[in-house]
Structure 1
Amino acid sequence: MKAWKILLGGAAVVCVGAAIASYSLRAGPVAAAAPSGPPAMPVPVTAVIKRTIPVYLEYSARTESIREVSLQAKVAGYIQSQPAADGADVKGEELLYKIDERDYRAALDQAKAQAQRNVAALGYARSNFNRGDELVKTGFLAKDNYDQRASTLGQSEASVAQDSAAVRSAEINLAYTEIRAPFSGRLGRNRAPVGTLVGGSGFTLNTLVQLDPLYVTFNPSERDIGVIQTARLASKVVAKVSLPDDASADYSGELTFVDNGVDRTTGTITARATVPNPKFTLLPGQYVRVRLHVRDEPDALLVPQVALGSSQLGKYVYVVGEGNKAEQKIVTLGPTDGDAVSVKGLVETDRVITGNLQKIGPGSPVSPIAQKEASASDVK
């Protein structure tokens, strides 16, 4: 009986040992396969660029014509012809409208004829006076007759002067029958067809606007006034003008006017640039964007704008830190230059992460890929 108990105890020990061995065999491989950490995320990186960049102030603006006039007739008459068509581009002194001139030419001829008669009368009065001047000295002519001849001479001279003024007035009225362009520009819509009786009532025949150059008027805020004035004192301020829907249309002019007071209601000041428009591609009243080049910023540190992120602390970028781990750096933004923006808070040796930003955080392991080597699949 005692031997039997010994045999059963030995069998129990063997079973327990086998169970422990089996558990050790299973637990050993599982412990070895445990992961050591998340895999490194491939990220495209780019170097910080250091260079001098231009600094601009940008505003919404409207184009304005430097000169715009309403064409009206100075003298009354019927429109005889319109040599320049509606909407035509005309030169200064070009004939735009012709008024029937017959009445005014007849008035000029009459004034000239009257002047000729009075000139002849003046010649007779002058010679008669000259003879009387000799006769009165010898006593052959009474003093009263001599004075009468002098009076007649004076009246003749006054008549000739009056006739000369009448001829000049008739010539001016005749010239007014031709309405010419006071400057180069573009005509608008005609309002006086041939045969229309015009003149003396303020009736507008057409409008003429100057298209080259144009004004571009905008309203800087009062906080920008000091920057603009400083730039004007240093040199001329270049103004770049572009159309909102056509980035390829670029016009260059110069800031030529800043008003002398700030609008108390809006806190802005009126300013304008003068922009050449030789091809007449800009028209008065258009909405445009204007950029003023106010200075250059040397040694600016630039990063792609796509690398920026936002948080409650402000703008930040991720850079490749020690041990190839993502490091978040808070930055202060400066002027932009195309797709890049200048920042403060980085150093020139930083490698900025530009992709896969949503998949990383501070301390995340990363595998840097140079920007030019990064493929589209790396940044999805």
Structure 2
Amino acid sequence: MAYVFPIHQSKPGVYMPRNHHPHRLTPTQKKNGLRPVAGFLLLAFLSLALPGCGDKEAKTTRPPAPVETGQAVAKDTPVALKAVGNVKASNSVTVKSRVDGHILRIHFLDGDNVTAGQLLYTIDPETYIYTQQGAQANVAGDRATAEHAQKDYLRYKDLFDQSVISRDEYESKLTAYETARKAMEADAAQVGIASRNVKFTQITSPINGMAGSTLLDEGNLVAADKDELVVINTLAPADVQFSVPGYELPRIRAEFVDNHLPVLATPASSGAKPSEGVLTFVDNWVNPDTGMINLKARFPNDDTALWPGQFVTIDLILSVQKDAVRIPAQAVQRGPNGKYVFVVEDGKARMQPVTTGMRLDDEVVIDTGLKAGEIVVVEGALRLYPDAPVAIKKGPGSKPEANANATKGQENS
């Protein structure tokens, strides 16, 4: 039975029992008050004793932590420089007209693959045909004049040889003949120009490649060497331009001199496979503003996986590290003493310090600390501690099964 002690009140008007003292208990109060004090002490003792027993029992019966594991494997691993590159057509031509005129016909569709020499546009040739015919007529008249002047020259030459005419008369006929001949040659050149202009009304593709969208439609007036008609890009092969830090230049030059350095280009799209090419160009200066140096690689691109203007991830492979130990990158943990992994041995997780090398996609190279074949924890490391029992998950959705040694330890406890 709980006992409530009376509170001493000194305010006037409040009734106080006679011979009452706030700090003194009556014999009845003392008798009744021993029971709650003893109960309180008993509860305090139990509260101190029971948690210790509970912790010991919880510690010995703690279930194994479910984890997913991976195996350290030895693979030949490329030593590569990472960069971001931009795809460019190996050859790109912007087609323009070399003569003025209206577009009579377009002979291709947007996006067609075209070949060198294929007809693309026809410009109205009428004006240039007339010009050609006029130049040909001038040549015919000049030829007749030159032939007549030649006859006069030859006749006067015979007379001059016979001393019948003066030298001035002979030289005047010679001059007339030379003038007529040169005039005929000049008009013949005009015929060539006119013929060329007629030919230029048939606009053909200068390269093999893919045509873009035509920029002017049929009926439009084209200005010579001004208006753009279509852009043609050569997609196979394709070039990729990228930049790397300038301090990597000695490593690149050391390998580039003797070897064709392989380059992998991976588009940003999901599941894309890398395209293989070779390094073809190293710029002759390092940009002092950025500290970067420009490089270029060429790819066969027969499958047209690389598209002009596309951004890709570049791996410039400098060498290959033989039998490098690799594990999933998420298995590596970081602690106050550096990086470590949990190695699973005999159903328990052992902390193992490691030093890491370069990272390749979802894997990382372990320089020291692991050997090929060891099993490391990939998921579930947050629940682990040194020598913690673990249960390896068999697959997604399956229940973890504890290792036999871990189960045996639970039964003994």
Q: Which range moves more in the overlay, 231-240 or 201-210?
A: 201-210
Could you tell me the TM-score, scaled by structure 2's length?
Answer: 0.73
For the residue of structure 1 that corresponds to 2:257, the secondary structure is helix
Give the counterpart letter for 1:266 in structure 2. Answer: T
CA distance in 1, matches of 2:367, 2:227: 64
- Which residue does the alignment assign to 1:120? 144
Alpha-carbon contact 1:58-1:290 (below 8 Å) kept: yes
CA contact (8 A) 1:317 1:352 kept: no
Query: Any conservation in 2 of the 1:302–1:342 contact (CA below 8 Å)?
Result: yes
Mapped partners of 1:282, 1:302: distance in 2: 30
Letter of the 1:181 counterpart: S
SS at match of 1:248: coil
1:217 aligned onto 2:241: yes
Number of the residue aligned with 2:352: 329
2:255 aligned with 1:231: yes
| 1:151 lines up with 2:175 in the alignment | yes
Q: Alignment partner for residue 367 of structure 2, among 344, 355, 362?
A: 344
Cα distance per residue 1:32-62 (max 9 Å; x no partner): x989967795877766433432222222222
Instruction: Render the CA deviation track for 1:130-163: whole Å, top value 9, x for unaligned.
Output: 2322221112232222111110111022112202
Select which of 200, 204, 209 maps to 2:228.
204
Give 1:348 shift.
3.2
The amino acid of 1:282's aligned partner reads: L
- The corresponding residue for 1:82 is 106
Q: What is the CA-CA distance between 1:176 and the residue it aligns to?
A: 1.5
TM-score by length of 1: 0.79
Letter in 1 for 2:292: T
Report the count of equivalent residues.
345
Q: Are 1:45 and 1:368, in contact at CA under 8 Å, matched by a contact in 2? A: no
Alpha-carbon spacing, 1:97–1:350, altered in 2? closer, same or farther (3 Å)? closer
Check conservation: 1:78, 1:197, Cα contact below 8 A.
Answer: yes
Letter matched to residue 189 of structure 1: S
Gaps of 5+ in 1: 1-29
2-structure distance, mates of 1:36, 1:89: 73
- Structural mapping, 1:1-380, within 5 Å: 41=64, 48-200=72-224, 202-319=226-343, 326-336=349-359, 339-346=362-369, 348=371, 351-354=374-377, 356-362=380-386, 364=387, 366=389, 377-378=400-401
SS at match of 2:77: strand
CA distance in 2, matches of 1:369, 1:197: 75
Q: Which structure exhibits the higher relative contact order, with contacts defined as CA atoms closer than 8 Å and separated by 6 or more residues?
A: 1
The aligned residue for residue 11 of structure 1 is: none
Contact 1:304 1:354 in 2 (8 A): no
* C-alpha distance in 2 between matches for 1:349 and 1:285: 42
Following superposition, the deviation at residue 261 of structure 1 comes to 2.3
> Counterparts of 2:181 and 2:393 in 1: how far apart (Å)?
99
Runs of 4+ in 1 over 6 A off after TM superposition: 33-36, 42-46, 367-372
Distance change >3 Å, CA 145–CA 35, structure 1 → 2:
closer
Please report the RMSD computed on the Cα atoms of aligned residues, expressed in angstroms.
Answer: 3.3
CA contact (8 A) 2:87 2:307 kept: yes
Q: Give the SS at the match of 1:217.
A: strand
Q: What is the letter of the counterpart of residue 148 of structure 2? A: Y
Q: Which amino acid aligns with 2:124?
A: D
Paired AA for residue 193 in structure 1: D
Amino acid of the structure 1 residue aligned with 2:343 = V
Distance 1:188 1:254 in 2: 27
% identical equivalent positions = 24
Q: Residue type of the partner of 2:170?
A: Y
